[in-house]
């Protein structure tokens, strides 16, 4: 059975391509062509059935929600509740980043209950097991890591973050270019530890063809992890980040040649004035591969409000080329997010995605805003609620106010500018 990109290259329009075209209100043949070039990916494991969504050029900006247990807090029912909330409020994907409890049982439940694409970072599970056995990261067996990748692919994971660009060469650029925050990627830090302690090359890079064979077999989309992403504004756009990106560009080409869908992860922390140039540079180096970014966070000074910080950066990134936003919650940098944090994170990223889609004129984004604008002029509250990104909250705030039975809101009352302008 062919992968999506293999089918596209042979001129075959798959049911998934047709489904995407219908959802995005675009031409089916155009979707096939862009999938063939690798500008669009449709992450869907052959063993996971759900309503597909695509990521990439000319499509609506997608949002991912990270979930998962930790060694300090491991409650599967809470993670499933968070998943339901994330999907309810518009997440297009879920990533299970669990590092506590029975990793495989948790992932199995998430895949079976998720109605959106599911992603993972396979090295997390391996590192968690090692530490639970009292072993060091240096004792990680690369063979077991590849077995974990294949096992998760068999289970139905749709896309995997694999830090294949962490190499001895890319790490060398950090030697004479000291960082404030060092390496903040968990996968990147784990691999660096293993490489330094064993004085060996990254097995994910060294045996990349082996990864491609596994991913092609199950049509798993590779999300090339940015293990050297900047962890604070001061480290943005440094030599290590760029050195890894150049490696990722080559790995994108190799994946496409082997019939494997691939996207590229982007920076986490970055001042606003560097976002546009970074997005354009990433697209150029990676031959227009879909870009998956965390945030970016445009300031490091707002712990507790990083969902807002990430939404600011996410809007800017999506306007200039990012295709997939990884949400940031109010708990970022502080603690494990709870159910409310998940909703706040998803909504912040959905607002960012929609704001960028308006600028990029993606399908019905402008029409949605026009409909609400017209309804506000007509004081048509039902239409406003219906078209809001969060209808429940909008209706709740209005109905619980002192003006619940009035056509105006409590802010202006009878001084409502719209009412007075209409009366004239």
CATH number of the CATH domain containing 257: 3.20.20.540
Examine the domain organization and report whether 314 and 416 are in the same domain. Answer: no
DSSP 204-273: HHHTHHHHHHHHHHHTPEEEE--TT--SSGGGTT-HHHHHHHHHHHHHHHHHHHTT--EEEE--SB--HH
Examine the domain organization and report whether 119 and 87 are in the same domain. Answer: yes
Q: Is residue 198 part of a domain?
A: yes
What per-residue confidence (pLDDT) applies to 35?
Answer: 98
Q: Is residue 29 part of a domain?
A: no
Question: Of 359, 382, 409, at which residue does a domain stop?
Answer: 359
Q: What is the pTM of this model?
A: 0.95
Burial class (CB in 10 A: 0-12, 13-18, 19+), 27: exposed
Examine the domain organization and report whether 222 and 336 are in the same domain. Answer: yes
Q: Is residue 27 part of a domain?
A: no
What per-residue confidence (pLDDT) applies to 423?
Answer: 63
Examine the domain organization and report whether 235 and 329 are in the same domain. Answer: yes
Q: Is residue 409 part of a domain?
A: yes
Examine the domain organization and report whether 351 and 370 are in the same domain. Answer: no
Examine the domain organization and report whether 173 and 75 are in the same domain. Answer: yes
Examine the domain organization and report whether 182 and 314 are in the same domain. Answer: yes
Summarised one tens digit per residue, pLDDT across range 313-326 is 999 999 999 999 99
Give the whole-angstrom CA distance, residue 361 versus residue 284.
22
Query: Does 296 sit behind a cis peptide bond, omega within 30 degrees of 0 on the bond before it?
Result: yes
Residue with tokens 């909504």: 347
User: In total, how many domains does the chain have?
Assistant: 2
Per the CB < 8 A criterion, the answer to whether 150 and 190 are in contact is no
Examine the domain organization and report whether 287 and 399 are in the same domain. Answer: no
Question: Of 312, 335, 359, at which residue does a domain stop?
Answer: 359
Examine the domain organization and report whether 72 and 221 are in the same domain. Answer: yes
What per-residue confidence (pLDDT) applies to 363?
Answer: 85
Examine the domain organization and report whether 389 and 327 are in the same domain. Answer: no
What per-residue confidence (pLDDT) applies to 232?
Answer: 96
Give the whole-angstrom CA distance, residue 5 versus residue 115.
22
Q: Is residue 116 part of a domain?
A: yes
What per-residue confidence (pLDDT) applies to 424?
Answer: 59
Summarised one tens digit per residue, pLDDT across range 181-220 is 999 999 999 999 999 999 999 999 999 999 999 999 999 9
What per-residue confidence (pLDDT) applies to 236?
Answer: 96
What per-residue confidence (pLDDT) applies to 394?
Answer: 87
Examine the domain organization and report whether 401 and 333 are in the same domain. Answer: no
Question: Of 359, 389, 405, at which residue does a domain stop?
Answer: 359
What per-residue confidence (pLDDT) applies to 223?
Answer: 98
Q: Is residue 26 part of a domain?
A: no
| Residue range of the domain that includes 92 | 59-359
DSSP 230-241: -SSGGGTT-HHH
Query: Checking DSSP bridges between strand 55-56 and strand 40-41, what pairing results, if any?
Result: antiparallel
Q: Is residue 187 part of a domain?
A: yes
Residues of the chain with pLDDT under 70: 404, 423-424
Q: Is residue 49 part of a domain?
A: no
Examine the domain organization and report whether 305 and 173 are in the same domain. Answer: yes
């Amino acid at each position: 059975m062919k992968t999506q990109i293999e089918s596209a290259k042979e001129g075959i329009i798959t049911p998934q391509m047709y489904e995407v075209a219908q959802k995005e209100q675009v031409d089916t043949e155009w979707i096939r062509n862009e999938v063939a070039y690798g500008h669009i990916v449709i992450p869907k494991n052959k063993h996971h059935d759900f309503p597909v969504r695509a990521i990439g050029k000319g499509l609506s900006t997608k949002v991912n929600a990270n979930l998962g247990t930790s060694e300090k807090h491991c409650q599967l029912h809470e993670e499933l509740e968070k998943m339901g909330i994330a999907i309810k409020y518009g997440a297009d994907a879920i990533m299970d980043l669990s590092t506590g409890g029975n990793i495989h049982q948790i992932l199995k439940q998430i895949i079976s209950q998720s109605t959106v694409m599911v992603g993972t970072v396979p090295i997390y599970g391996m590192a968690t097991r090692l530490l639970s056995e009292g072993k060091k990261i240096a004792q990680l067996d690369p063979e077991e890591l590849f077995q974990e990748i294949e096992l998760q692919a068999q289970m139905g994971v749709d896309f995997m973050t694999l830090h294949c660009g962490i190499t001895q060469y890319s790490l060398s650029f950090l030697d004479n270019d000291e960082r404030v925050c060092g390496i903040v990627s968990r996968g990147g830090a784990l691999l660096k530890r293993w490489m330094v302690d064993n004085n060996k090359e990254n097995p994910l890079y060294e045996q990349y063809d082996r990864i491609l064979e596994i991913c092609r077999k199950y049509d798993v989309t590779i999300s090339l992890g940015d293990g050297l992403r900047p962890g604070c504004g001061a480290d943005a756009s440094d030599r290590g980040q760029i050195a890894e990106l150049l490696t990722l560009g080559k790995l994108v080409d190799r994946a496409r040649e082997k019939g494997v869908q691939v996207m590229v992860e982007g920076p986490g922390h970055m001042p606003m004035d560097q976002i546009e140039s970074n997005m354009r540079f990433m697209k150029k180096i990676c031959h227009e591969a879909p870009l998956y970014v965390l945030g970016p966070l445009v300031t490091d000074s707002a712990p507790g409000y990083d969902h807002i910080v990430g939404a600011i950066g996410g809007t800017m990134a999506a306007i200039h080329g990012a295709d997939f936003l990884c949400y940031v919650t109010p708990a970022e940098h502080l603690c494990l997010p709870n159910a409310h944090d998940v909703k706040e994170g998803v909504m912040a990223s959905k607002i960012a995605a929609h704001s960028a889609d308006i600028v990029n004129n993606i399908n019905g984004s402008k029409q949605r805003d026009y409909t609400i604008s017209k309804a506000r002029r007509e004081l048509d509250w039902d239409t406003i609620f219906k078209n809001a990104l969060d209808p429940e909250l909008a209706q709740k705030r209005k109905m619980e106010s002192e003006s619940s039975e009035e056509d105006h809101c409590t802010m202006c009352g009878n001084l409502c500018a719209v009412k007075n302008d209409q009366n004239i």
